[in-house]
Structure 1
Amino acid sequence: MSVREDISARVPGGDTGLILASLVVIYITYVLVGIGLGYSARGQLNTIAVLTFYIAVFAMLALALNLHWGYTGLFNIGIVGFMSVGIYVMALVSKPLYQPGGASQVGGLGLPIVVGMLAGMVAAAVLGLIVALPALRLRADYLAIVTIAMSEIVRFSFLSGELAQFQLFGERVGFGGGSGVILNYTDPLMAFFDFFGLGDSYLGFVSAFEVIIPNNPKPVVDGLVYGVVLLIFVAIYYWLLKRTGESPFGRVLKAIREDEDVANSLGKNTNRFKIKAFMLGCALMGLAGVLWFMRSGAVTPNTFRPRLTFFVWIALIIGGAGSNTGSVLGGAVFAALLYQGPRYLKNLVDTVLPNASAPSGFGPAIAPLISNLNPAPLLFYTIDSIRQLQLVFMGLVLVWLMHNRPEGMLGHRKETASGIALTSSRARETTAETDGGETDE
């Protein structure tokens, strides 16, 4: 039995239980830190809402990347480009029509927000098709170069003054150029509930929180509920990719990952399969971009720099490529420890040691360590600069993982090659196995 299978077997509920147990540990840790920091009920709930948001978005993006890299072996490092296309097209479709004298210099088409979300997904998938047609003839590092170049081309296109404003269907629309786009559509959460006829019920739910959070509880409740909505989307991503991986289509993708020439020799049109997988993953990345930024007041092109792509890669590597469960866990661990963790660690140290002062620079911090082996100034300087050093910590974690556990927390799982149960017990005992991802997630 592999390490990953052993972990799942020990946790009640299998893979689902493993995910839930990990989330419970993360949330309890954050609540205890909040108690140590003296947070009020509003502060604790805000912390949970922000944590849930980042866990969900990184889990969704890691799952989408797992379809490309874990299942098909496609080295896509242009994730942020598909995210930006998703949110920009969504804004173009769902922003209100242009009003002269309004705060925004450009408007949108004024369509429902759900239509905008679908349009963002379709646009990201179409961009994936455009990239895939020439790029999937390439492999490994060459494909990576093409995808990251695409993401930068998209970013600079949104920065262009030519696309800042233009006419579409007789309406004044645009992407705002370097100033970005003001997302002055209706509150997306309320629009989402209104679309399903649940708007009044939700407002009643918000009012019930006035006992716990007096003085306008709606922003806090909105954050919590939006986090729950995002977790529902994570479950949908998980289910969709689990079904995809178990289908004949998914088995071909895994065969392509292992040896594309062998899959070709068996009569499979591998280019067609790779294009379909690439488009599906890009659509999911576009939707994740929409869900990440749709509640922001504005979006600017420089938000979508390549480092977001590398964050998603770190999350996937932490969990283990080829594993949907690992993708979710990797997203949760990355968000809790590497993305949000440093800020809460600094707040906790400042609360526990309020009189501790950090040196003003690296020189004064390292000098006591060299002269009299006193590590305290360097430690306080590191904690005080932890937000600036966050990328360094991520890099160190990535290097350690690649040296000590390249398969990630969970890694690959053996799966039986037979699609149906074999009748002979002797045959069942000798069923062939292939290294191709998970079976019962």
Structure 2
Amino acid sequence: MSVQDDPIANRLPDSLVGYWESDLVKIGATLAAVYLLYLIAGLLLGYGLSGQLNSLRRLTFLIVLYSIGALVVNLHWGYSGLFNIGVVGFMAVGVYTTTILTRPVAGQNPTGTLSGLGLSLPVAIVGGVLAAALVGYIAALPSLRLRDDYFAIVTLAFAEIIRIAVKASELQEFTIFGATIGTGGGRGIRTYPNPINQFFEGTGAPIVDAVSSTIDGPLVSGWTFVLTLTLVLVCVLWLIIRIVESPFGRVLKGIRDDEEATTALGKNTGSLKIRSFMIGCGILGFLGIIWQGSQGYISPGLFVPQLTFFIWIAVIIGGAGSNTGSIIGSILFVGTIYLGPGYVRRLIEKFISLSGQATNFPDALGMLAGGDVSGILLYTLDQTSALRVILTGILLIWLLKRRPDGLFGNRREMASSIDIESRVRDRQSSDATDGGRE
């Protein structure tokens, strides 16, 4: 995105515009602004040091995970033109496969718990990522001739098939090739232990004891896990940048812009799209492993389409075709829409004395008609999830009207490694300076 098209750069002093062109500065400034808002909210709510650190830990945890998901969606849609709204299904494949692979084998597990294959966690993670990539391959094969909304319908249906399959009683526990395994069905299944927590409960326990007088012990393992996930995010970002800047990535941009023209140049667009889709699905499988799997328990109810839509909202906010935009969009989405309503609720409850009860919207309107605004506030505070959806809708309407390409959208990025337009502009500027003389 050029400086002229950047809504924030246009409002900065000329001395700061050069700094703002750095992607790292954009991400850091946005994150610092959101952190500042949460620190102020924590002070108003009376949080101590541990409370503030825990608040920022949860905020950072969600930002990092949504950023990974948004980067994958941006790879599929922003660079490859693949409209994937089955994100959550591939996450489910990754975490369920890893869980089954790590569960103890039959006869070695506690009575009443599901069996597995007893593999080590690193091997199981590789298996989960490969399984998600394989399912992505299967999903992409029949969809090669489909475009945009049709491909989206297929991926959404595939995700629902996966969710219903792991919920089915037939797969709750079954035997295959002599091994007894299962998904736990609708009741769910316990996952593998978090290795970070295990470290601080064992070898790293002295570290927790050393800081427990200042902050709560669990915050040490919690922040260590978040920082580890941040390193994963950096690796995923590096991988995607390498992909999109390679000849393979430039062909993907060509497919996105004009698939027929790319095919006419002798490129096997079907094979390239499948490879791009498989890479993204493998990363999504890994995202499911480190997100839901790290919580210690999974169930089919965690893998609903709403999570996919939230990740898409983050991409839409930042703008398709921009990795920086995907991360900034995740920061803004998590900080304002996802977690924001809960903090607003606590602030209102702390500083505004509300009385009465509004169990439904008509009651709230009746109280408002009588001059009592507390009814609307009471009803709104009890509908945090609905408020999140309403805010999402308002934001989408605003973006479609003011910034249809998102804050940092760059769908017109050059597919060629040579920026011909830039060279033409430079030549025209040179001609204008010397009067067109050679």
Normalised to the residue count of structure 1, the TM-score between the two structures is 0.87
C-alpha distance after superposition, 1:70-110 (max 9, x if no partner): 00111111111001001000101122334577265312222
Amino acid at match of 1:187: N
1:33-52 alignment, distance < 5 Å: 33-52=41-60
CA positional deviation for 1:293: 1.0
C-alpha distance after superposition, 1:50-76 (max 9, x if no partner): 111111111100000101110011111
Q: Which residue of 1 aligns with 2:349?
A: 350
Q: Which residue of 2 aligns with 1:399?
A: 397
Task: State whether structure 2 residue 108 is matched by structure 1 residue 110.
Answer: no
Looking at structure 2, the residues matched to 99 and 212 of structure 1 have their Cα atoms a distance apart, in angstroms, of: 45
CA positional deviation for 1:20: 1.3
Looking at structure 2, the residues matched to 59 and 279 of structure 1 have their Cα atoms a distance apart, in angstroms, of: 19
Q: Which moved more, 1:167-176 or 1:316-325?
A: 167-176
Task: State whether structure 2 residue 31 is matched by structure 1 residue 23.
Answer: yes
Q: Which residue of 1 aligns with 2:431?
A: none
Looking at structure 2, the residues matched to 66 and 368 of structure 1 have their Cα atoms a distance apart, in angstroms, of: 46
Q: Which residue of 2 aligns with 1:367?
A: 366
Looking at structure 2, the residues matched to 259 and 417 of structure 1 have their Cα atoms a distance apart, in angstroms, of: 11
1:12-411 alignment, distance < 5 Å: 14-99=22-107, 102=110, 104-168=112-176, 170-183=178-191, 185-190=192-197, 200=203, 202-213=204-215, 217-355=216-354, 357=356, 359-370=358-369, 375-411=373-409
Amino acid at match of 2:252: L
Amino acid at match of 1:92: I
Amino acid at match of 1:3: D
Partner-residue secondary structure (3-state), 1:167: strand
Amino acid at match of 1:395: G
Q: Which moved more, 1:111-120 or 1:14-23?
A: 111-120
CA positional deviation for 1:174: 1.1
Amino acid at match of 1:405: R
CA positional deviation for 1:207: 3.0
CA positional deviation for 1:343: 0.9
Contact 1:4 1:413 in 2 (8 A): no
Amino acid at match of 2:384: I
Looking at structure 2, the residues matched to 103 and 327 of structure 1 have their Cα atoms a distance apart, in angstroms, of: 46
Looking at structure 2, the residues matched to 166 and 370 of structure 1 have their Cα atoms a distance apart, in angstroms, of: 60
Partner-residue secondary structure (3-state), 1:34: helix
C-alpha distance after superposition, 1:321-352 (max 9, x if no partner): 11100001111111111111111111111111
Q: Which residue of 2 aligns with 1:436?
A: none
CA positional deviation for 1:22: 1.1
Looking at structure 2, the residues matched to 116 and 147 of structure 1 have their Cα atoms a distance apart, in angstroms, of: 25
Judged with a 3 Å threshold, the aligned counterparts in structure 2 of structure 1 residues 430 and 104 are, in CA distance, closer, same or farther, namely: farther
Looking at structure 1, the residues matched to 267 and 386 of structure 2 have their Cα atoms a distance apart, in angstroms, of: 49
Contact 1:175 1:181 in 2 (8 A): yes
Judged with a 3 Å threshold, the aligned counterparts in structure 2 of structure 1 residues 22 and 358 are, in CA distance, closer, same or farther, namely: farther
CA positional deviation for 1:313: 0.8
CA positional deviation for 1:159: 1.1
Looking at structure 1, the residues matched to 236 and 393 of structure 2 have their Cα atoms a distance apart, in angstroms, of: 28
Looking at structure 2, the residues matched to 199 and 233 of structure 1 have their Cα atoms a distance apart, in angstroms, of: 24
CA positional deviation for 1:263: 0.4
Looking at structure 1, the residues matched to 148 and 414 of structure 2 have their Cα atoms a distance apart, in angstroms, of: 28
Partner-residue secondary structure (3-state), 1:387: helix
Looking at structure 1, the residues matched to 7 and 390 of structure 2 have their Cα atoms a distance apart, in angstroms, of: 32
Q: Which residue of 1 aligns with 2:433?
A: none
Partner-residue secondary structure (3-state), 1:295: helix
The 4+ residue runs of structure 1 with deviation greater than 6 A are: 425-428
CA positional deviation for 1:45: 1.7
Judged with a 3 Å threshold, the aligned counterparts in structure 2 of structure 1 residues 386 and 228 are, in CA distance, closer, same or farther, namely: same
Looking at structure 2, the residues matched to 370 and 10 of structure 1 have their Cα atoms a distance apart, in angstroms, of: 53
What is the RMSD of the two structures over their aligned residues, measured on CA atoms?
A: 2.7
Q: Which residue of 2 aligns with 1:429?
A: 426
CA positional deviation for 1:257: 0.6
Unaligned ranges ≥5, structure 1: 432-441
Looking at structure 2, the residues matched to 417 and 271 of structure 1 have their Cα atoms a distance apart, in angstroms, of: 18
Among all aligned residue pairs of Structure 1 and Structure 2, give the percentage whose two residues are the same amino acid. 41
Amino acid at match of 1:403: K
Contact 1:4 1:412 in 2 (8 A): no
Q: Which moved more, 1:159-168 or 1:14-23?
A: 159-168
Looking at structure 2, the residues matched to 166 and 352 of structure 1 have their Cα atoms a distance apart, in angstroms, of: 55
Normalised to the residue count of structure 2, the TM-score between the two structures is 0.88
CA positional deviation for 1:390: 2.1
Looking at structure 1, the residues matched to 148 and 387 of structure 2 have their Cα atoms a distance apart, in angstroms, of: 30
Looking at structure 1, the residues matched to 257 and 77 of structure 2 have their Cα atoms a distance apart, in angstroms, of: 11
Partner-residue secondary structure (3-state), 1:389: helix
Amino acid at match of 1:409: L
Q: Which residue of 2 aligns with 1:434?
A: none
Amino acid at match of 1:208: A
Amino acid at match of 2:426: E
Judged with a 3 Å threshold, the aligned counterparts in structure 2 of structure 1 residues 309 and 220 are, in CA distance, closer, same or farther, namely: same
Contact 2:105 2:117 in 1 (8 A): yes
